[in-house]
Each structure stands twice: as C-alpha cells, then as structure tokens.
Structure 1
Amino acid sequence: MRAEIEDALERAHSRFVASVRATPAGAGGRTVPACPEWSVADLVAHVLTVYRRALGDRRRSRTPEETAALNATVLAETPERDLAVLASLLEADGPASFAVLRGFPDDLSFRFHGGGRTTVTPVSAVILGELLIHGHDLAEATGGSWTIPPDEASLVLRGASAPGPDGYPPIFAAWLAPGGEKLLAAVTEGDDPVGTMLALYRRTAPTTPSVTALAPYLRSL
C-alpha cells in the first residue's frame, strides 16, 4: 500500500498544482465555503505548509484541539498569497517533501498531530487526504473542476486507519470521541470511499451505515 500511496501523492499533487494555476488571480480572495475562515489563497498556502512539515518544520500539536491553532500559526508565518507564486512553491516543495518521506524506513516511529505517533504510510495517506479534500474545497470555491478517484480515496481511508506504532491507535483515532475507535475500521470496508472520505472530513452527510454510526464520535478532521 505504501507504494500505491506514494504514486497517488504524485498524481494528486500534479492535479492540485494544475488547479491552482487554472484559478484566476482575482479569485484568491474568495471565501472557501468548507473553511470560511480561509480565502482561496489561504487554502493553497495551507497545503504548502503541509508539505513543509516534512521539510523541516517539526512542530506538532499535542492534542486535536491544538491542531487548528498550529495551522493558524504556520499559515500566518507563510505570508505569500499570490496564486502563481504559490503554485511555483508547491511545485518545488511537494516533490521535495515526497522524497523525504520515501527515504523513511517502513517502521520508523515519529510524532504526529494530536499527540500520537505514526509511521510513513499513514502520514503519507493523510497528506494524500489533504490534497484530495482541499482540491475539492478549491473547486467548490472557484467553480473549477476536481475529481476524487475512488481508488485514491480508498488509500486515504485504509492508510490513515492503519494501527499506529508502539501500541498507539491509528492517526484518525485522535479526532474521535471515546468509543469511536471501535467503529473506525468499518469505514474502510465500504463501497463508497469518496463519499466516506467527504463525510469524515465533514464535507457531506454520511453515505453508509458505518459512517453514520461513526459520525457522532467525530470531532473534526
């Protein structure tokens, strides 16, 4: 699955950069409906900060609640909002961050947001999820085109739901209220991975019984 996720990251990255480049410069100030505290340019800059966390920014949130605050901090530290410049920065930093991840051993344990620990395959799945969901957000805000391939959505669900190292739970578990961990594995088995992923990220209503059961336990993703 690791190799599949790495290949999917490259594809999703290329699509995301193309979408940014296709966005009119004047659209950078539009509000993103799914993230109303962000403009389109903020959204793109956020994805850039996700890449840069593999390139040297080692700050991680200790609790799920701290993640939003950390996201706001690193976004404020990334002042560029010109979409053309951001696209060029993404083109440089995306592949560089993927190369760093490819160099990690499968079993290397490291800190992740929410106070947990992870290994390279789950964290790569989360980055893939960031690209897929924020590509969706970008298209919604600008009227552009964005498709989430079911196989890539499935990789996000399966990769990010894999058990953590050293007895830690899966990455997604930190964003669930107690009791939700037992329901988490069921979402990876559904026949609508795109709808499931959109529901987990609170972009749409649940589409399957397993996600409907999990929804009350979701804090946010």
Structure 2
Amino acid sequence: MTELRQEIEAALPRAHERFVSLVRSVDPASAVRTVPACPDWSAADLVAHVLTVYRRALGDRRRSATPEETAALNAQCLAETPERGLAALADLLDADGPASFAVLRSFPDDLSFRFHGGTRTTVTPVSAVILGEVLIHGYDLAEATGSDWAITPDEASLVLHAANLPGPDGLPPLFTMWLEPGGETLLAATAATGDPVGALTTLYRRTAPTTPELVALAGYLRPL
C-alpha cells in the first residue's frame, strides 16, 4: 500500500466525523436553506448527496458514461434517496460512511474499475474524490447554514496529489475528466502549489483562483 493511500485512508474518517458533527449541529429549520454553490439543492439535499456518494462504494454500481451525464446521475440518485431529516441523514451517514471506507480499503492498489465520465480509476484516486466531496460539501453546508468549516492544507494536498496520479492502462489522471483538453499539465502544477486549499476550491469551482497557475487552470474547467 502506498504512503499516499494510507494518508488518504486515515484522513477520510476524520473528515467524515467532522462532516457528521456539522450535520448534527445544524438547526433542523435550516435544512431547507439553499446551497449557494448548488442553487438547485437545499442543505438537506446536499447532505443526502454525500450519502449517495458513500453508497456508490457499497451496492450502487451505476456510473456516468460521459462527464456531462454525471449531473443527471447525481439528480437521479438524489431523487431515490427521500430522507431529508438532518438527524436521520446523520445516522445514515454514520452507518454507510465507515462501511464504504472498509470496502475501499479491501481493494488492491492496482485494481482497475469503472468511474464516472466513462473513465477508469484505481482505489487511491477514487478515495481522494470521496475525501474531496466531504471537504467541499462541508464547506457548502457551512456556507448555506452560517456554520464553521475549515479545510486544512494537509487535507487539500492529499486530494491534489492523488488528482495527479496516472490512471490505469495508460489513462490520464482521474481528475482530468473535469478539464477541457490541454489542462493536464496545469492540473499537475496544483500538486506543488503554495495554496492547496485555494487550488482545491478552485478545482471544485467554489472560489476564484488565487495564483497564476490557478488562474490558468480555471480556464480549462469544464462547464457544470
């Protein structure tokens, strides 16, 4: 097992516990608040989406065939997850999150499997995607509800380093599915950036870029 994989696998449950604590701390009346970064979602929708992310490592094997189909699949999975009570969602997250992490830990380093956007990946990049989802959606939930949430530079760096790992069978890094052709070298620059949190939030289209390499990278982000 690689050192990067070990670090991500240690970071995932810590970020998960923080996210669940945040969900439990939110006033139930705030569940209907709109998420600024995802205006079609309420705060409760956002939390339910994170639950569906965990469940894709469990029994849900559906994957989008193209980057453009990912949003439609997200919407379908969300519609199939009717719970919107924050306390109940926190309980479901606490059950399915650790179970999904255990599944990922069982995979060999070099196992190649389907992922969204019609690509393939291995366990370390996909674990980093899940870590990124928890970190970014914690940021979103805090923004929607006036709560506190911090992404640490170490956490962001783990996601960015995994974002640059080559894909299996000669495929490009997994995170390049979010970029227009030509953005691969700019993605590589994020692994050495002095602002890993800013790079992560730029990559997820949450904040404006803060450095020249992030400005260049932002120009290659695919439209959502």
TM-score past 0.5 threshold? yes
Is the Cα–Cα contact under 8 Å of residues 123 and 160 in structure 1 kept in the other structure?
no
Question: Could you tell me which residue of structure 2 aligns to residue 49 of structure 1?
Answer: 52
Question: How far apart, in 2, do the equivalents of 1:178 and 1:81 lie?
Answer: 38
Question: Could you tell me which residue of structure 2 aligns to residue 148 of structure 1?
Answer: 151
Root-mean-square deviation (CA, aligned residues, Å) is: 0.9
Question: Could you tell me which residue of structure 1 aligns to residue 6 of structure 2?
Answer: 3
- Residue 101 of structure 2 is aligned with which of 84, 98, 108? 98
Question: Could you tell me which residue of structure 2 aligns to residue 204 of structure 1?
Answer: 207
Question: How far apart, in 1, do the equivalents of 2:190 and 2:156 lie?
Answer: 12
TM-score normalised by length of structure 2: 0.97
Deviation at 1:174, TM superposition (A): 1.1
- Segments of structure 1 that go 5 or more residues without pairing to the other structure are none
- Residue 108 of structure 1 is aligned with which of 94, 111, 125? 111
Question: Could you tell me which residue of structure 2 aligns to residue 60 of structure 1?
Answer: 63
Question: Could you tell me which residue of structure 2 aligns to residue 193 of structure 1?
Answer: 196
Question: How far apart, in 2, do the equivalents of 1:104 and 1:158 lie?
Answer: 20
Runs of 4+ in 1 over 2 A off after TM superposition: none
Q: Percent identity?
A: 75
Structure 1 counterpart of 2:180, one-letter code: A
Question: How far apart, in 1, do the equivalents of 2:11 and 2:185 lie?
Answer: 28
Q: 103-112 vs 181-190, which deviates more?
A: 181-190
- Segments of structure 2 that go 5 or more residues without pairing to the other structure are none
CA gap 1:106/1:125 in 2 versus in 1, 3 angstroms? same
TM-score normalised by length of structure 1: 0.98
1:173-206 deviation line (CA, Å, top 9, x unaligned): 1111111122210111101100111111111110
Structure 1 counterpart of 2:202, one-letter code: A
Show the 5 A alignment for 1:66-215. Answer: 66-215=69-218
- Residue 21 of structure 2 is aligned with which of 18, 21, 28? 18
Deviation at 1:13, TM superposition (A): 0.1
Question: Could you tell me which residue of structure 2 aligns to residue 33 of structure 1?
Answer: 36
